[in-house]
């Protein structure tokens, strides 16, 4: 019998309380996580399957574009959580987005922070 990871045990217990749709499994012979169709205890115990609690879906930052000047072509959030609208597509720096010209979104009531990491937070204005 192989050692079962703490993450797999936690996911299994989570599934017992919240249902199988709340977790994902990965067969050790494959690389991708997938939805659980039915938990096979023997596949978990023998180490063939790994289980994990499904990560929350990534959500983009949001702004009602009609609240911004048409000159603003993108929004993004820096590592320190400062969110800005930009007049050109910014370049990703070490801790922030780099661009000349933009506005702070802190005063825009329709701005909503997503849950993506700052370096994946760039959202372009819809065309």
Do 110 and 69 share a structural domain?
yes
Sheet holding 49-53, edge to edge: 34-35, 23-27, 49-53
Question: In this structure, what DSSP letter does residue 13 have?
Answer: H
pLDDT, residue 2, reads 56
115 and 87 fall within a common domain:
yes
pLDDT digits (tens, 9 = 90+) for 68-81: 999 999 999 999 99
Count of domains for the chain: 2
Within-domain flag for 46 = yes
On whether residue 43 sits in a domain, the answer given is yes
Residues 45 and 75 in one domain: no
* pLDDT by 10s per residue, the chain, length 127: 457 778 888 888 888 788 777 888 888 787 788 887 776 777 777 777 888 888 888 999 999 999 999 999 999 999 999 999 999 999 999 999 999 888 999 999 999 999 999 999 999 999 8
Same domain, 47 and 96: no
Q: Rounded to two decimals, what is the model's pTM?
A: 0.67
**pLDDT number for residue 1:** 45
Convert the pLDDT of each residue in 56-65 to its tens digit: 889 999 999 9
Residue 58 within any structural domain of the chain: no
If asked whether residues 39 and 79 sit together in one domain, one would say no
Domain that residue 46 falls in: 6-53
One domain for residues 46 and 96 = no
What pairs with residue 24 in β-bridges? Answer: 35, 52
The tokens for 37 are 């169709």
Q: What is the pLDDT of residue 83?
A: 97
The reported pLDDT for the residue numbered 33 is: 84
Note whether residue 32 is domain-resident.
Answer: yes
**Residue 99 forms part of a structural domain:** yes
Examine the domain organization and report whether 14 and 37 are in the same domain.
yes
Is residue 116 within 8 A of residue 78, CB to CB? The reply is no
């Amino acid at each position: 019998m192989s050692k079962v990871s703490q993450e797999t045990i936690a996911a299994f217990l989570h599934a017992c309380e919240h249902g199988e749709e709340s977790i994902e499994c990965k067969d050790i012979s494959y690389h991708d996580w997938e939805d659980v169709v039915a938990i096979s205890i023997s596949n978990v115990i023998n180490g063939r399957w790994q289980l994990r609690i499904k990560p929350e879906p990534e959500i983009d930052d949001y702004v009602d574009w009609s609240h911004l000047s048409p000159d603003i072509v993108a929004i993004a959030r820096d590592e320190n959580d400062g969110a800005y609208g930009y007049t050109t597509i910014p370049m990703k720096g070490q801790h922030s987005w780099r661009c000349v010209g933009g506005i702070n979104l802190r005063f825009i009531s329709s701005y909503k922070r997503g849950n993506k990491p700052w370096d994946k937070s760039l959202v372009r204005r819809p065309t």
